[in-house]
A and B are shown apart, each in its own frame.
Chain A
Amino acid sequence: MSILINADATFIVQGITGREAVNLTRENLDYGAKIIGGVTPGRAGRDVYGVPVFDCVRDITAKSHVDGSVVCVPPKFTRDAVFEALENGIKLIVIVTERIPRREVAQMVELAALRGARIIGPNCLGLISPGEAKMGGIGGPAANTRTAYSKGPVGVMSRSGGMTTEIANTLTAAGLGQSTAVSIGGDAIIGTSYAELMPLFEADPETQAIAIYSEPGGRMEAELADWVRDNGSRLPIVAFMAGRFMDEMPGMRFGHAGTIVEGKADTTADKIERMRAAGISVAERIEEIPALIRERLGETS
């Protein structure tokens, strides 16, 4: 089992003829994904690595069931592409595009909520259920992806795309596989937060523990801590906290758009304290994660 995608999931790629999209289409197909169509207006009739290209999402959804869409179009056109996917009944949308203004992201998220759909991203690398399928550029070429990711009991969530793979790779090297790894995106407003993915992992029998990447800025760790406390989660969580140096440099912008220390509640020290109080283990180094997870798994079994 896994969350969000499995080997049977069908999806499309919007903006499929773009440079990055062509790349991720090939990488996903090589990893076993079922990409049943692509959309680029005006390019109907072409194909990308055997995937047929259409002008509209409707041209695909009218004939086949589509579980998800990877949106990889320039920032100016992203909102329109996401609205198109949502209004054609697609329930899982992964937005790879970065530099989308917050107002437009909020509009997409609001419409998704009205349509009962979920958005991952924007500004993310997508998600992977190792050994089954992946959506987006996560892990890179299929061969590299197989080196870093392996099937197993740990759910991974990360605001940083690159660190998703770094953490998975560390777990894999230590013999701990992953159920599903999700790059949730580094922007100030994103479709799905840590806390919002928790119920899905909670309901997945394969997932036994969670590893997250954490950094200064935003309230996502606070939200996760609240969720864990309010719901009595069965899953032990280990967080890696990056950007500790930023505590000494309030107001400066490093890393992702959402990573700016704005108020006193955003510092890493504060987040660590909050997470520990909720029973979340906090690692100072990535290589400590596997041992912390084993320790926590030992407690629960």
Chain B
Amino acid sequence: MRFYEHESKTLFAKHGMPLGKSGLARSTEEAHGIAAEIGQPVVLKSQVLSGGRMKAGAVKFADTPDEAAALFDEILPIVVNGQHAESVLVEEKSPIAQEYYVGVTWDGRRKLPVVIFSDMGGIDIEEVAETHPDHVSKTHFSTLFPVTPRVAKEAIGATGVSGSDLNRLTPIVHELIQVFLKYDLTLAEINPLVRLEDGRFVVLDGHVDMEAEARGSHEALLEELGIQPEETRQARPPTDFEIAGAKVDASDHRGVAGNVVGFDGDLGLVIGAGGGSLTLFDAVRKHGGKPANYCEIGGNPSVKKTCELTKLVLGKPGVEKIAVMMNVVSNTRVDIVARGVIKGCVESGRDPADTIAIFRIPGAWEDEGFKILKKYGVEFCDRSVSMYQAAGRAVAKMQAS
């Protein structure tokens, strides 16, 4: 889950990192007031959970409070990659002498956290890594032993930075590492970290992502920052369909029946599990089918939960039929899923035999499940029919109807 820039900065400031004077404006008057208080030229930055603000025109510079107020009105309505802003950060604008990049993230291959540092900050770090590899360092560190400032020092020193710059950068980078570990972040990034012409170091822009699984361990911080439990904070705002899917999944702790994403097609998918859903979505498309949605069933969801998921998919405009498919299941029960989808059809006022294009879930309790499907006249197949073939049958039915 992403933090807004101003939240990231509040977190950084809490840990003693140097920041410019700033304030968060939610109205034209506030923008004017903050700019007046800062008393020098300011930069106004729209607060959205997305990059590309500069390109979208959502970052502007103002010399006077009146100008700041006018620019606030101009940039607040700008939608950046689908994200609407509710506030604008007004911050002192300072002459920059040098820009640095510092980011802390996970390296899945090494299974360790890594701090990435560059003395060529401000632009796309991946590009710098390609064109100027000696100006980007990657330094791994332990999650088990205390991380002392030497990690930060080595990371900075590896790019050739020395002298007082090295000594002044080290505590900032060290503190970012501590924040990363303390709050279970998946990304803690400062880009750019700058040295001003007057020699001060300042965090100009920051980006923080917290691991969703760790939210429960950091409730105090989230409350302090005013982040509500229901805020998903994804890079793309969730649709109503996705919110409804999340509600179905949260209604009951048993198993998974959710992770829905809507698409424009006419064939509803009730599919699982993680890898199976990816495989089946591909298969439907390969056969020329048009999925109405992506979703995942996994573990042992209750009949009610599967029923509600089915109703949600069937309720999506344009959905004529659904395909119910999974890989060979180990712990999900075929009979329980069969009951859920049939019930979902009936409760949606549809005939299961007409509505379910194909049911392909082989595995645990399949004999019991197949009895149920037979009784309701639903076409089903066992493991002798591959996932790919089953998807083909569903698509063929759509094309015939």
Is B226 on the interface with A (CB-CB < 8 A)? no
Which of A125, A166, A190 has the most chain B CB atoms closer than 10 A to its own CB? A166
Tell me which residues from 65 to 86 in chain A have a Cβ below 8 Å from any Cβ of chain B: 75
Interface string of A203-215 (1 = CB under 8 A from B): 0000000000101
Contact of A140 among B113, B278, B296, B363 (CB under 8 A): B363
Interface string of B111-146 (1 = CB under 8 A from A): 111000000000000100000000000000011100
Contact B184 A162 (CB under 8 A): no
**Bound complex: CA A159 to CA B276 (Å):** 11
Instruction: Looking at the assembled complex, report how far the CB atom of B340 sits from the nearest CB atom of chain A, in whole angstroms.
Output: 18
Interface string of B256-285 (1 = CB under 8 A from A): 000101000000000011111111011101
Contact B278 A162 (CB under 8 A): no
Tell me which residues from 148 to 178 in chain B have a Cβ below 8 Å from any Cβ of chain A: none
Is A285 on the interface with B (CB-CB < 8 A)? yes
Is B196 on the interface with A (CB-CB < 8 A)? no
Query: Which residues of chain B come closer than 8 Å to A101, judged between CB atoms?
Result: 184, 211, 213-214, 217
Tell me which residues from 277 to 295 in chain B have a Cβ below 8 Å from any Cβ of chain A: 277-279, 281-283, 285-286, 294
Is B17 on the interface with A (CB-CB < 8 A)? no
Query: Which residues of chain A come closer than 8 Å to B181, judged between CB atoms?
Result: 103
Instruction: Looking at the assembled complex, report how far the CB atom of B239 sits from the nearest CB atom of chain A, in whole angstroms.
Output: 12
Of the listed stretches A8-16, A32-40, A54-62, A247-255, chain B binds A247-255
Tell me which residues from 210 to 240 in chain B have a Cβ below 8 Å from any Cβ of chain A: 211, 213-214, 217, 234-236
Interface of B, secondary structure class, is mixed
Contact B278 A255 (CB under 8 A): yes
Query: Which residues of chain A come closer than 8 Å to B279, judged between CB atoms?
Result: 163, 166, 240, 242-243, 286
Is B106 on the interface with A (CB-CB < 8 A)? yes
Query: Which residues of chain A come closer than 8 Å to B61, judged between CB atoms?
Result: none
Contact of B387 among A20, A144, A166, A284 (CB under 8 A): A166
Instruction: Looking at the assembled complex, report how far the CB atom of B50 sits from the nearest CB atom of chain A, in whole angstroms.
Output: 10
Instruction: Looking at the assembled complex, report how far the CB atom of B151 sits from the nearest CB atom of chain A, in whole angstroms.
Output: 15
Contact B331 A244 (CB under 8 A): no
**Bound complex: CA A259 to CA B109 (Å):** 14
Contact of A169 among B235, B261, B282, B328 (CB under 8 A): B328
Contact B109 A161 (CB under 8 A): no
Contact of A173 among B108, B259, B286, B384 (CB under 8 A): B384
Which B residue's beta carbon lies closest to that of A183?
Answer: B330
Instruction: Looking at the assembled complex, report how far the CB atom of A249 sits from the nearest CB atom of chain B, in whole angstroms.
Output: 9
Query: Which residues of chain B come closer than 8 Å to A161, judged between CB atoms?
Result: 273-275, 330
Contact of B363 among A125, A165, A256, A263 (CB under 8 A): A165
Which of A137, A161, A170 has the most chain B CB atoms closer than 10 A to its own CB? A161
A162 in contact with B329 given A106-B106, A110-B142, A256-B274 (CB within 8 Å): yes
Contact A286 B329 (CB under 8 A): no
Which A residue's beta carbon lies closest to that of B181?
Answer: A103
State the 7 A-B residue pairs at the shortest beta-carbon distance, nearest first: A160-B275, A140-B330, A243-B278, A166-B327, A163-B275, A242-B278, A101-B214
Known: A162-B274, A254-B259. 17 other contacts (CB 8 A): A102-B184, A106-B112, A107-B143, A125-B331, A137-B331, A141-B364, A162-B330, A166-B279, A166-B328, A219-B109, A220-B109, A242-B278, A242-B279, A246-B278, A255-B275, A255-B278, A286-B279
Please list 13 pairs of residues, one from A and one from B, whose beta carbons are closer than 8 Å in the complex, sorted by A's number. A125-B330, A148-B328, A148-B363, A148-B383, A158-B275, A160-B273, A162-B275, A163-B275, A243-B282, A246-B278, A254-B261, A254-B278, A286-B388
| Interface set of B (CB-CB < 8 Å, partner A) | 106, 108-109, 111-113, 126, 142-144, 181, 184, 186, 211, 213-214, 217, 234-236, 259, 261, 272-279, 281-283, 285-286, 294, 296, 298, 326-331, 362-364, 383-384, 386-389
